Structure 1
Amino acid sequence: MTDGHGRRKVEYMDGMRKTKVTMVQYDIAWRMVAENRNRIESLVAALPASDVIVLPEMFTTGFVAEPNGVAEKADDSETVRWMARMAQYRDCAVAGSIVVRTDEGFRNRLYFVTPDGVSYYDKHHLFGYGGENRHFVAGQHRLVVEWRGVRWMPVICYDLRFPTWCRNREDYDVMICVASWPQGRIQVWRTLLAARAIENQCFTVGVNRVGDDPTGHYSGGSMVADPWGRCVAECKDECQEAVTYGLNISGMRTFREKFPVLRDRDGMLTS
């Protein structure tokens, strides 16, 4: 069955199907925008159908603290148009962050692109240890996007360390974290993804890169954690691959109803 635009139409009934998310973990060529888009296309070419394809942080350049020469204009980005073409062709959402130039300055901006439109989130916690705060402007607003009956909240790398910013206000089902997280701190990455899933009673989808850049080495560790903090899907370490996993959103919502932790979160109690 297709819709009026000729795209595959899926009937979404709670409990009838799982929401499929695809993690694309790959070696990002340093500051080579077109080359990285080609690498992604090769990895996803043979993928089965998915609802959301997630790419790493700064997926067209690698993590650049100095954005001059690689930043795209926010209102005229070839990469966003490329994401839109992929979303249309594969009938899915495509999410990942790139470097853009705005009137206020450079942004580490995550785009969530569907066949019907574009939403974006600007990284709030800039990585001062790596010099990101010297060249980028921090975003001030969270983003929650509803797509195919599921509410998605994206964050970017360093944001993951800040539970107050990530706190589920009963407004999202899946947290997406795109990252350039170095191998030396990879156990912290896995622990934080599990912790954010447990405390927010959500799925967390963390997508990291592999390979090297001028500052260090990246081993991957892309994974999905369920609301109990269990790793239920992952990419192989040191490996370029795309892994698809079906999220049981209906089961997660049943768990929340039976064990309503979120209702007792800070800010909800009265003295």
Structure 2
Amino acid sequence: MSEMKIAVLQMNVTEDPNENIEKATKLTEHLEGYTILLPELFTTGFRYPLIRSLEQNHHDIVDKLPSSNRYMGSVVRNNGDERFNSFFIKDSKGTRFPYDKKHLFPLMDEDKNFAPGNRKGIVNLDGIKCGTSICFDLRYPDRDHFCEAPQIIFAAAQWPAVRKKHLRALVSARAVENQCWFVLCNAAGNIGGALFGGGSIILTPWGETAVDAHDTEDALLTFDADLDSVTEVRKTIPIDRKP
């Protein structure tokens, strides 16, 4: 049986990037060999004065995360004159940024402070095809994910508590339409004056809940995802995935 050991660290994001790195490290240091998903912009939140004051190479801060696990999430990444909300993967092979958030959230002025990305965000992790997504992207069915048919999709988010029901409906839909494991990590608690709803979750390829963090501010989920179940679901209900 093919498996991936997955962890989700739902956390409140402080205004100190190094403090957030230290928190993520402390809360996961007992794990080994896991793929750990962190929230969207887990070092800063949407604190734009802080974001504008960051050094050009702020994204390198994720290199401080331990090497005993694979970490992923999103972080501010500057590239020349442009600033991106970038999905990162940090593991034994180094750090890479395979995806920049495409759909920027206007209600939080994201479109005024970040540039939109244009990459597919499909990555291979130890022979496992994975998709990546960031928060507001969830409101847009992803044709690349559908056609590429990843076995797992990872989504980092800072989704407000007031629209938490929308979040649950959307992640369930994304799991069912792609017939794959869906892993969501949302921030929780008051961050920069906005209340974020938690509700981080791992969903099966049938769209059923495997494990759920509810609204706890700092919560760690772990689960061993059976990747063979993806093949079984896709054989049970065949779907044409041609572009």
Taking structure 1 as the reference length, what is the TM-score of the superposition?
Answer: 0.83
1:93 & 1:40 partners in 2: Cα distance? Answer: 12
* Residue aligning to 2:13: 28
More strand by share: 2
* Alignment partner of 1:109 out of 70, 82, 86: 86
CA distances 1:100-129 after superposition (whole Å, capped 9, x unpaired): 221141111111122113331111001112
Give unmatched runs, 5+ long, in structure 2.
Answer: none
SS at 1:168 equivalent: helix
1:59 CA drift (Å): 0.3
* Residue aligning to 2:22: 38
1:64 CA drift (Å): 3.2
* Residue aligning to 1:180: 158
CA distances 1:200-239 after superposition (whole Å, capped 9, x unpaired): 1111100011121234112310001111111111113223
1:122 & 1:100 partners in 2: Cα distance? Answer: 9
State which drifts further: 139-148 or 252-261: 252-261
CA RMSD in angstroms, aligned pairs only? 1.8
Give unmatched runs, 5+ long, in structure 1.
Answer: 1-14
Q: Which has the higher contact order (CA 8 A, sep 6+)?
A: 2
* Residue aligning to 1:94: 71
2:113 maps to 1:135: yes
1:149 CA drift (Å): 2.4
Maintained 8 Å contact 2:74/2:88: yes
Maintained 8 Å contact 1:50/1:244: no
2:179 maps to 1:201: yes
Which structure 2 residues correspond to residues 1-271 of structure 1 after superposition, within 5 A?
A: 15=1, 17-30=2-15, 32-47=16-31, 49-65=32-48, 67-70=51-54, 72-74=55-57, 77-83=59-65, 86=66, 88=67, 90=68, 92-120=69-97, 121-165=99-143, 167-261=145-239, 263=240, 265=241, 268=243
* Residue aligning to 1:5: none
List 4+ stretches of structure 1 deviating above 4 A. none
Q: How many residue pairs get matched? A: 241
